[in-house]
Structure 1
Amino acid sequence: MKKFFKLSALSLAVASTSAYSAVLEEMIVTVQKREQTLQDIPVAVSAFNGDEMVNMGVGDIRGLVDLTPGFNGKTEDSFIDALAIRGIVTNDFGIGGDPSVAIFVDNVWAGRNGGVQMAFYDMARAEVVKGPQSTLFGRNAIAGGINVITNEPNELEEGAIAVTIDEHGYDADGMVNVPLTDDWFFRAAAYTKDADGWLENVQGGDDVGKSEILSTRFGLKYAGEDVEAVFRLGYEDREQDASVYWSADSGVPQDKINSDLLDGGHDKSEILTLQANVSWFINSDYSMTSVTAYKTYDFDYLEDYDSIPLQVNNYSQEQEVDYLSQEFRLVYEGEGNITWFAGISAYQEDIDATFGSTYNEDDLCARISQTDTEDFATPVTGCSDPVFEEYWFDPDPAEDIPQSDIITKTETNIDSIKATGWSVYGDLNLMFMDSRLGVTIGGRYTLDKKEMEIEFLDSGGALGNNFGFEFITPGPVKDDDEWSQFTPRLAVNFDVNDEISVYYNVAKGYKTGGYSTFGVDNDGVDNEGFAINARPVAFDPEETTNNEIGVKARLLDGSMQLNVTYFTYTYTDLQLVIFESGSSLVKNVGEAEADGVEVDMNWTPGENWQIRAAAAWLDTEITEEIEAGDGTKGNKLQIAPEFSGSWMTTYTVPVEGGEVHVTGTYIYQGEVFGGPGNFESAKIEEWEQIDLRLGYSSDDDWGVTLWVENITNEEYFERGWENRDTNNSGGYGLTNTLVWPNRPRTAGVTFDMRF
């Protein structure tokens, strides 16, 4: 962290040499369902407009992680089980739960693993809202919400294109906007990427990290006198390599992997979205908005989960998702001291999924003897080894496992879920003392229902079903339940003067219950191996109460925007993946609390300077053990670094026919644990990264930018993953791992043109 402050001080010293400051442009956001400046809302928000994201090299959600205080957990794949805001994360990679960090695209819930990651192009802005957002965003936004806004069609006749070429491949995006009539406008945008891998697999095959993406968006807008409507259609087809894992047992340096999947596995998504946003301006005070959305996507995934070349567990997931939502919202913005909004929303989500663990039985038996050493005096060579037979058939070691029965196979469970829900919500804002004091009272009542089916198939072989479930089910087994909750919010905002305001915000957070994707409760097993009275493993909702105090200031004659937030929360009934006997089960476990400080600064110390800085301090603690006697009490939450921050400085030099701009970015993250056990073998050490961009923008609307990411070639991992139990024992063939080494130093060039 010292390096971060040293670089900050250096940048400040350089920037302050400017003799005058430039006034910052107001950032307009729609967090509270109406247009407001970023400084006017009593909520902790980090916002970036489209041009800023291009200049900072933000290509997707992962770029926002680096530049937003309190937002952590980059992920290279299509999962979002690592995204955390203020230490609250959903590490469930199945389908029975919901994300704690809710992501919205054009005000519509974007979904879950496989369907959320999207390429950023032709963007209007992105808003990262921290703390529970049940009132403002809904759908289980217990940690916070990310609202991504794409550009709407408009009255201008314009277009743009950008092409980037780097050491690994290329990407390109383009946009065209056409006014059709005085009231109707059309906009089309597209993005494509083709990148080779950059991570060597010592077993051979192509380098890992390949990615191919094709994405398109079409928009049609009607702007009448009393009605405004935007219709959107989006399609994205992405194919990339799956996640890779490294452990001390991999037997290779940290910049390589040792995997039996020579093609890198696969991570494929095909996503279609349809959306209609219609607003009626009833009169000067009232407006009604309808948001209708449909999203469908297929997700096909295969990874080498065990981090070694033995075929111990190649994890696969295939799913088909259909999501339909409808929201109606009434907003009142009169000339008096009262503004409010009220709404109702409903959704239906249908998911069909197949999960598999593929392994060679001999490889698994040998690996179990290496990870579960408390059960073995010596390692074994395979399933028919007498030492393993004694372990497997205890207390009847006289039995044996014929070598002819040992096969390579897949244990499969088939899951389906139908989730429905509705909510009513509202916010009332009262202004006092000539509008210097504002009080906001809000709340949301939510009801969710889930119907879950799980079927465990017979995998055969010498071992039968054993990787987490030692039985088969007599067809699909079912359960359903519903959960409801009222989540209130109170915020008080006071303008100390025209430049400084302070606020207090207390909010209740709630995330609905669900079902574990990989677990079934039963009352025993019959003689044929079928589970008796089987039903899906259910878990209850989790809750949090968040208090925060913030200061929002415009300083130095309007050239600096400085926001500081202190927060504290309690977190109960955490929904966490707990590893038991080879299976990843979601359970309600323990309690936790946290407090922290977030700083967000945007400063233009001179007309040629632009500085953005973000910093966060976070202290989390598990206050109730995950399981009795497991030693987790006092541990940190996972993906919750004590310190993290970033600093970006841009300097622009006018030249003949255009301008030259230089941008330097520094990113720092402190150590991060991979799970509640806080095991060293799944801990990410602190890391830092420096990026540099040098560009020229012509007055003739074209430009070129040279850039280098990770100039110092820093090596780090994105996150860790705990596969051993909370006492750091067991593992059932798996060990604690580190996930995705970062990309090495990479240089490239970007050409862009507007017309």
Structure 2
Amino acid sequence: MHLRIFPALTACAVMLPHSASAEDLPNPISAAEITVMAQRREEAIQTVPVAISAFGEVFLDRTRLDDVKDIVTFTPGFSGNSDDSYIDSIAIRGITSNDYGIGGDPSIGIFKDGVYQGRTGAAVTSLFDAAQAEALRGPQGFLFGRNAISGAISIVTNKPDPGRISGHLYVGVASFDRKDAEGAINLPVAEDWTLRIAGYATDYDGWIDNAFTAGRNDRLMGGNKQAGRVALRYRAGDADVLLSAEHERRRLDGAPYRASNDDREVLDYLSEVLQRDIIIRGSRRDVDTDLLRPRDDGDITSLTASIDLDLGSARLKSLTAFRKSDFHYLEDYDGTALQLGNYDQRQHARYVSQDFRLMSRDDRRLTWSAGVSLYWEDVAARFANEAAEDLVCTAGYGYADCDGMTMDLYGAPYRPAPGGLLTDINDVRSRNRGWSVFLDTNFHFSKALEAGIGIRYARDRKHFSIDVLPSQSSLGNVWTFTYFTDGPVSSSKSWGGLTPRAYVRYAVGPDINLYASITRGYKAGGFGSFTVAAPVPVEAYRLVPDGTKPDAFAPETIWSKELGIKGLDLARTLSFDITGFHYRYRNLQTVYFDTESRTQQVVNVGSVTGYGVESALNWKPSRYFDLSGHVTWTRTEKQGDRDCGQKDCGGLPNPIWSSAGVATGHYPMGPAEIYLQGEWMHEGRRRESFDWRGITRREAYTQINLRLGYDSGRGVEIVAYAQNLFDAYFVRGVENGGDLTPANSWGIAQPRSFGVDLRLRFR
């Protein structure tokens, strides 16, 4: 679906005479009336005993949240947003999963309309025609199921609405030649049938130049996306059936890395052995990379069938889903103009799930829900790492030339590979299946006192194989892998975990609620995508011995405790939400680069302790002003981290302080208004792991956005905006480096930009 489809939607908007008033639209910042599905049933956000943030449709539109990861920006306790399809950098209360292979699972669960969205390459999709987004902190596996050990993001899309014709059309232009378009139309097609069609497209240039190409305007970090969704709904009597199909095509630039000139240990060594000065050229907003076109491409298709039946005393819901994704990622992770580390990942995934849930009526003292969930997943990936052969011989092994190296290793002369590139390839495949059952109960002792207990048991099984191909270079397997396999080596393992939750909520008054909860989280173990486990030491540059299997790691578990207070002031102009938390995490799965073996390994860290306070408020003192924001303080400590015996081995890479929010001034003009909206996003300096080399770090930053809008109150809105108004410079992440890879940074933030949006809504 491309930009050219939207003139047709425009025509539909013009022909339909109905309009929407401003009063009909959801308030973008009022939390008091928001209902959420955090416990799989509709509840007021102010009474639900869960640390949760919710964002309505107008908020998502006005703040221009682009994809599901942008929810991170405005959510207390969340950090690690980035402009790519990876989710391994998203942290909730400091907990993240940095395993970019396919043998493990994410620590955050991302769901759309109740369906688990999967892993990197499949989970990140655009936000369009969305009704609401919910972000939940802390383990959520007791209700949400798979891989929500640190928290969950839940997106709810607009459903076909029986009995009326309605829709919207949004178009926009901005700096960096950005063009956006979104449209949706709701059409009753028969007495009990309604169709909804929605589409989205964007195209933009990048903002990063590559000094390697000597003055050419590269504009890296550009891309284009097209997405569409069709939903058909049957609603009659006690039955509500929804069938939907969605597809998204993503063609983005992968995040370019910039090595640090301050890493003299690595750069001085490279300069010495290569007999030339190695300097990273360009300004801090530029990169200097030999990879001319990094890639972040994806095609994601999903089919969903939801059946909701009212049985009188209970409701039965069936949710069936199929997801298919193809992902291609290409980056230069050494961040230099040398061909030392170009990384290529091609991934194909298929996912099928089936959920059955039975829920009691909401008007009883005892409410309950029970269910069973099943899934099947097949993920295959090819990882390729490229390096120039002459650099491998000289910088990597200290030889004057490659001929001397091959004569020493194999007694044979060196024969250059095509293009002089050494390419190491490993094929991996993970076939996973699992099931879980859960029961959740809530008892209302009185109007003021409520308690609940829930439990889920999950069982996961993975069959994993890794095939390290013999190198086609005469150098052999000497770089990413110093061995090879004779076809795939495989292993199967099963893990099970119990995830209970208990809570109590007490209403101090009609508008003040206190709650306390304790929850256990679990995430299955897995296999490393870049290492093997051999029964005896592997002989360098040779075939692995018999009995070699994929390298396995153990499951993660967490116990998390929360105390919270939610409330409204007497005038109901101020709502607040303050949560204190403490958790103990065991066997954290984490990736680190072993500079001795030059391999990326997934290991289990002994334990992580985290604690903090999250405070959020919504204030609307008058018709003329409103404010919504949060301030968060988080502290994490690691122990037993790879030979570190200290009490605190450095913590996880989360900001200690963070804050974000929106302040809006309104000038009413009858049914219309003019508004001025300011947004702030602040993340403090990030902690670093104990083996941090002291060269690069992600410093604190603050970004300010400003929007000036006119809303007619009759379905027409026009907005002019400035993103990153003060042109703040910051990066999304930094890498430790070591060996032949300099410490580097990635994800250079977009500079100041300007744009205009036009929105038409009709009903």
Q: Normalising by the residue count of structure 1, what TM-score does the alignment of the two structures yield?
A: 0.90
Q: How does 1:99-138 map to 2 (within 5 A)?
A: 99-138=106-145
Q: Tell me what 1:713 maps to.
A: 727
Q: Tell me what 1:166 maps to.
A: 174
SS in 2 for 1:141: coil
Q: Does 1:453 align with 2:460?
A: no
Distance 1:674 1:57, change over 3 A: farther
Q: Tell me what 1:287 maps to.
A: 315
Q: How does 1:468-487 map to 2 (within 5 A)?
A: 468-487=480-499
Q: Tell me what 1:78 maps to.
A: 85
Q: Deviations over 1:296-317 (max 9, x none)?
A: 0111111111100111111001
Contact 1:673–1:720 (CA under 8 A) maintained in structure 2: no
Q: Tell me what 1:661 maps to.
A: 675
Contact 1:548–1:565 (CA under 8 A) maintained in structure 2: yes
Q: How does 1:405-424 map to 2 (within 5 A)?
A: 407-424=420-437
**What's the offset of the Cα at 1:471?**
0.9
Distance 1:381 1:74, change over 3 A: farther
Which amino acid in the other structure matches residue 163 of structure 1? V
Match of 1:235 among 215, 235, 247: 247
Q: Does 1:301 align with 2:324?
A: no
Q: How does 1:538-553 map to 2 (within 5 A)?
A: 538-553=552-567
Separation (CA, whole Å) in 1 of partners of 2:209 and 2:353 = 43
Distance 1:632 1:297, change over 3 A: farther
Distance 1:170 1:87, change over 3 A: same
Match of 2:452 among 424, 427, 440: 440
Which amino acid in the other structure matches residue 338 of structure 2? L
Q: Deviations over 1:524-571 (max 9, x none)?
A: 447982101221000010111100100011114212110000000111
Q: Tell me what 1:428 maps to.
A: 441
Q: Tell me what 1:69 maps to.
A: 76
Q: How does 1:212-227 map to 2 (within 5 A)?
A: 212-227=224-239
Q: Tell me what 2:98 maps to.
A: 91
Q: Does 1:195 align with 2:208?
A: no
Q: Tell me what 2:635 maps to.
A: 619
SS in 1 for 2:490: strand
Q: Deviations over 1:640-697 (max 9, x none)?
A: 1110001310111123672111100111101124645344334200000100000111
Which amino acid in the other structure matches residue 746 of structure 1? S
Separation (CA, whole Å) in 1 of partners of 2:410 and 2:85 = 47
**What's the offset of the Cα at 1:243?**
1.4
Separation (CA, whole Å) in 2 of partners of 1:312 and 1:336 = 65
Match of 2:289 among 249, 252, 259: 259
Distance 1:383 1:328, change over 3 A: farther
Contact 1:702–1:754 (CA under 8 A) maintained in structure 2: yes
Separation (CA, whole Å) in 2 of partners of 1:46 and 1:467 = 46
Which amino acid in the other structure matches residue 290 of structure 1? S
Separation (CA, whole Å) in 2 of partners of 1:368 and 1:632 = 33
Distance 1:404 1:352, change over 3 A: closer
Q: Tell me what 1:3 maps to.
A: none
Task: Out of 562-571 and 519-528, give the one that drifted further.
Answer: 519-528
Q: Tell me what 2:305 maps to.
A: 276
Identity among equivalent pairs (%): 33
Q: Does 1:247 align with 2:259?
A: yes
Contact 2:414–2:475 (CA under 8 A) maintained in structure 1: no
Distance 1:186 1:397, change over 3 A: closer
Which amino acid in the other structure matches residue 412 of structure 1? I
Separation (CA, whole Å) in 2 of partners of 1:23 and 1:328 = 33
Separation (CA, whole Å) in 2 of partners of 1:26 and 1:512 = 37
Separation (CA, whole Å) in 1 of partners of 2:114 and 2:319 = 8
Q: How does 1:456-467 map to 2 (within 5 A)?
A: 456-467=468-479
Contact 1:635–1:678 (CA under 8 A) maintained in structure 2: no
Distance 1:620 1:710, change over 3 A: same
Distance 1:175 1:558, change over 3 A: same
Contact 1:383–1:401 (CA under 8 A) maintained in structure 2: no
Distance 1:229 1:676, change over 3 A: farther
Q: Tell me what 2:23 maps to.
A: none
Which amino acid in the other structure matches residue 512 of structure 1? A
Q: Tell me what 2:625 maps to.
A: 609
Q: Tell me what 1:735 maps to.
A: 742
Q: Tell me what 1:531 maps to.
A: 544
Contact 1:663–1:692 (CA under 8 A) maintained in structure 2: yes
Match of 1:683 among 683, 697, 700: 697
Which amino acid in the other structure matches residue 162 of structure 1? Y
Structure 2, unpaired ranges of 5+? 1-28, 262-279
Q: Tell me what 2:12 maps to.
A: none
Match of 2:66 among 46, 59, 62: 59
Q: Does 1:363 align with 2:425?
A: no
Task: Out of 465-474 and 247-256, give the one that drifted further.
Answer: 247-256
**What's the offset of the Cα at 1:487?**
1.1
Q: Tell me what 1:7 maps to.
A: none
Q: Deviations over 1:163-187 (max 9, x none)?
A: 1101112111000001112311110
**What's the offset of the Cα at 1:591?**
1.2
SS in 1 for 2:58: helix
Q: Normalising by the residue count of structure 2, what TM-score does the alignment of the two structures yield?
A: 0.89
Matched residue pairs, number? 706
Match of 2:608 among 570, 592, 595: 592
Which amino acid in the other structure matches residue 105 of structure 1? K
Separation (CA, whole Å) in 2 of partners of 1:633 and 1:410 = 42
**What's the offset of the Cα at 1:587?**
1.1
Separation (CA, whole Å) in 1 of partners of 2:409 and 2:198 = 66
Contact 2:416–2:473 (CA under 8 A) maintained in structure 1: no
Which amino acid in the other structure matches residue 696 of structure 1? Y
Q: Tell me what 1:50 maps to.
A: 57
SS in 2 for 1:496: strand
Separation (CA, whole Å) in 2 of partners of 1:253 and 1:496 = 57
Q: What's the Cα RMSD here?
A: 2.1
Q: Does 1:567 align with 2:596?
A: no
Q: How does 1:142-161 map to 2 (within 5 A)?
A: 142-155=149-162, 156-161=164-169
Q: Tell me what 1:13 maps to.
A: none
Structure 1, unpaired ranges of 5+? 1-21, 370-379, 725-730
Separation (CA, whole Å) in 2 of partners of 1:450 and 1:109 = 18
Q: Does 1:583 align with 2:599?
A: yes
